[in-house]
Each structure stands twice: as C-alpha cells, then as structure tokens.
Amino acid sequence: MDIQSLIGQKIGKYLVLEQIGKGGMAFVYKAIDQSLERHVALKVLIITNKKPEESALMFKYFVREAKSLAKLIHPNIVSMIDFGEEDGFPYLIMPYLSGGTLKSLPKPMPYIEAIQYIEPIARALDYAHKQNIIHRDVKPSNILLTENKEPMLSDFGVAKLLSTELQGGLTATGGVVGTPSYMPVEQWYEKVVPQSDQYALGVVLFELLTGRLPFEAKTPVDMVVKQSKEAAPQAHQLNPTIPEELSRIIAKTLALDVQARYKEMLDFAIALSPFKQKEYSAPPASTSFATSAPRPIKEQEKYSVLATSKTPALVIYLLDVSSSMTLPMGDKRRVDIVMEALYAALQQMVFRSTKGTRVSPRYRIAMYAYSDHVYDLLDGIRTVDYIANLGIPELETMRSTDTARGFKQVEKLLIQELPRLDECPAPLVCHMTDGEFTGNDPQEIVKRIMNMKVPDGNILVENIFISDSLMKDSIEDVRKWSGISPHNQLDNEYANQLRTISSVLPASYTLMMRESGYQIASGALMMLPGINRDLIEMGFVMSSSTPVSHSR
C-alpha cells in the first residue's frame, strides 16, 4: 500500500476522499465512514520497514497504546473513534473538523483571542496528565478548530505511538520525538515530564501573541544550545499590547529548569483565566429577569446539593425522533447535530466525574427516544462512565410525535426513583423536540412532573425546541446571550406553550453555565430556541450543569 496516494481507496470501512495533511509522522486524509455516512479524519502512521516479527510486536504495542488513548474523553481533545491496520500500516480514525488549525490563523493576534484558544487546551492537557498521558508534540498544527472556532487538541499520543519504543520494539531505547521549535531541553534528552507539554504550550502562546518563536536556530543542535544558554525574550517587549503580568506567566512556562515552571498544567490555566475575560464583562449582579423582590434565603439554598459519586445527579433525556428531525440544518441533519451536542454534554459529565486517573461517576443517565412510541435507549438508568465506554445508540427517525406518551414514561421513572434521591441533586428532565405534539396534550403531565420534589428542590424541566425561526430578535453571539425570560413572546405558538412548562434556571446552574463561557442571566428559563447548532449545543451544556465540587 502506498500511503502517499490513497485517494479513492478503501481502508477498513472508510473510503478515502482527499489528502488534508502531511507531517513527519503521518499522512492525514479526509474519508467517509460508509456505514454511518459521516466524514472522518484518517491518519495513516509512517513507519520504517520491519521484519514480520517486528511488525507483529509493533502492532501489539500500537493496539495497547491506542486503547489507552481512546479513553481520553474531554471537550477539548479530539477523540479517537477507531483504529486498525492495513497492509502493515497502523491507522487512527478521528472526527473530521473543518475549522483549520491554530497554525493557519494570522499572527500576532489580540491577547484576549489567544487566551481563549490556549486556556482550554491547558485544561485538556491537565486532564490528560492526570491520566498519566503526556502529549509530547504540542504545536499550532496539532490544535484543531471546530466550525465554531473551539480549540481541540489533536494527535494525542501519536508521538508516543511512533517513538522508538514502537519503531524498534517494546524494549528499545533512544531517539527523540517531537517538533524542535516547541521542545524543551529535557525532551531532547528523553526526560519527558508533564511540564514538557507546558513548555510547548507556552511557546505556542508566545507565537500567537508575537508572531515569532522565542528561539530560532538553523539546526537542532543550535536550538538546544540557545535554549540552554539564553533566556526567552519577554513577550510584552515584542508586542507592547501584551500585559506585563501575562508576559511573566509565559516566561514561567519557558523556564529552562522544569521545577521553575508551574507544578501542574491546571495552575497555568488558572493563571491565564483572568486575561480571557479582560474585555468581556459578565452581566452585572443586578441583571435578572425577576420582577419581584429578592427570594428568601431558604429559596436561594435550593438546587445547591453537589453531584458526587455517592449522591449522583439524575438526568433524563427525552428526545423527539419524528421524521422531521431528518431536515437539514446547515450542512447536517437536525438529528446528527443533536447527537453531537448530546455526546459533548456527556463528555463534560465524564470530565467533571474524573478524579486523578479514575472516573467516579457523578451522573446517572436515562435516555428515551419517542415518536408514536417510546424507546428506552439505554435499557434503564446508566452511570455516565458506562455510556462513555459503550457510546450512545444512534437515533433513528420514525413517524409522528406523541409527546405526552414520552413524558408519561418519564413520570413513571421518576415515581420509581424519587424515594432513593433524598440526598441527591434535584433530577433534571431535558426534552428536545422540533415540532408540535400529536395525540394528547403533554402539559398536564409535565406540570405534575415539575411539582415532584426532593429536599434539594422541584424536578427541573428543560426544553430545547429546534426550529428555523423562533426569536423575534436575532442572537448575534450565543455565549453573550442572556436567555429567554418568563415574559418573552416567541414567534411560534407551540414554543410559547413549551415556555410555560420550562423551569427557571437555578442560580447554581447559572454559575456552572458561566464557567462554560455562557453569560446567561439569572432568572432565565431552561428553554433554548434551537435555531442553530450553537444554541442546540448550549441546551445540552445546560443539561449537564448540575453543580459539582470544584475539587473533582
């Protein structure tokens, strides 16, 4: 197999469409998964010629490492969908992202913009380090961008998969893996530690802000000499718009001595956070849709129970799968966008449930799809780590929309579960639909559900209504949107009915939403007008915003 020319060929179940990238370690192609009819990125790894016994040992190691990397589930890490081997060449399958990479963006860029790219990647690396995985090759071309310009760290572990341990067998040593301009001195000597990734990310941030690298040399040897003998220039001296404090933070990551850098990547992320918000003012404390006097303290204390492994939150998804969900929204079907947003929300739940190298599930999930029948997609309530390991069943669209039947199933489940939830956060029902119901009116059933309660508060009901047009005013920036108030009138009669059976967003959920970058106002309703992909994603983020302990 000639891995430099695979266009039109089939690798496993993937048909290769075009080459989209090439590096020293792999060729990257855009391909299509013919069974699921979705685009993917196919990365074929470049390896040296091997004897049959060496190839067998190499692939055994590759499978072991690939399985380890597949367990990385984080909102800012490109997930591994599949892996395999074709004619002796290992390959990886990942989601296809169409937004380009940090390498393609113009530089220098405003520091606010740069921090918005780098801070989430720092948190992603911190998560990986806590799983005992080091990236080894952080650079702009490995930070991909979604269509909405969200940063996603790619090639996690590819450097390790292609290290001399892989190339020469499980016991071989020697060889340096990485990209010279972004490698710290210790990596040249094969002493890779988590702070090595921190150095590389510091170089990326320096480059975004100044338009140049901190060290430049003609040969790798010259690069090591420069790094060992010279201090990196101060970023604010090259670009006066950079705050000096931010310049000092970058300098700390570029320190020659590993011990002089931040102890953990999370410390780096926390140091960057204030600069991400510098020009973005959060809504003032007085911003609220409430028109009455402040609620009493007792009311404010509701919805304050934290989700833990001992007191997990119950989230019930009720998903409309009527035939209209196949209608297009941009370049995808509505149902596909919902699947992606739901999967991202579950990834966030897994991330919030991760402590060290172990997932301690803080969420229990039930998932129903409904048309004129109701389908239990998970066969009962499952912990979020169980779903992460097995994946989400594909949604198949069917016929009409018997919403009342769907909520009746939810009500039945809650009646069974409520006696066991006295010490848990109030359950949440996230209902997604794209049209009016057929059959009985669901409002009476939903109101009964909303009147159910546990000590933490009443059952919360959220509605995501997918439609081409709902709002009288356009929403320019989803992350700055303040939400729907109890008094908003929408351009759709059924949407206005759903508004009356949507809970008010609790203050604790508001804080979690703001941590996720949304500026939704206090007192907004748990109702999202799914008029585009971003708002649908925001709706599912809301469903995963049960308060959790920051210590994880």
Which amino acid would we find at residue 497?
Q
Q: 156 vs 20, 162, 176, 206, 453, CA distance in Å?
A: 18, 12, 17, 22, 44
Which residues make Cβ contacts (< 8 Å) with residue 458, sequence separation at least 6?
426, 450, 451, 452, 503
* Total Cβ atoms within 10 A of residue 384: 27
Angle at CA of residue 263, ends 258 and 162, nearest 5°: 60
Q: N- to C-terminal Cα distance for the chain?
A: 47
Count of Cβ atoms closer than 10 Å to residue 259 Cβ: 7
Task: Report the phi/psi class of residue 419: left, alpha or beta, with left for phi > 0 and alpha for psi in -120 to 50.
Answer: alpha
359 alpha-carbon distance from chain centroid: 16
Please, how many CA atoms are within 13 Å of residue 118, restricted to the half-sphere of its CB? Answer: 38
- Listing DSSP states for 348-404 in one string gives HHHHHTEETTEE---EEEEEEEESSSEEESSSS-EEHHHHHHH-PPPP---S---HH
**Six token digits for residue 204:** 């990326």
Q: Is the previous residue joined to 108 through a cis bond, with omega within 30 degrees of 0?
A: yes
User: How far apart (Å, rounded) are the C-alpha atoms in residues 313 and 305?
Assistant: 9
Counted residue by residue, the chain has a size of 552
Nearest to 94 by CA among 182, 20, 205: 20
137 is catalytic: yes
Q: Which of 137, 197, 402, 434 is catalytic?
A: 137
Helix (H) or strand (E) holding 343, with range, is helix 334-352
Please compute, for residue 465, the number of CA atoms within 13 A of its CA located in the half-sphere on the CB side.
28
Amino acid, res. 400: S
Rounded Cα distance, 480 and 245, in Å: 27
Q: Which of 506, 543, 546 is nearest to 523 (CA)?
A: 506
- Which of 382, 381, 383 is CA-nearest to residue 413? 381
| Residue in the structure block whose two tokens are 């059924």 | 494
CA 417-344-253 angle, to 5 degrees, is 125
Q: Catalogue the active-site residues.
A: 137
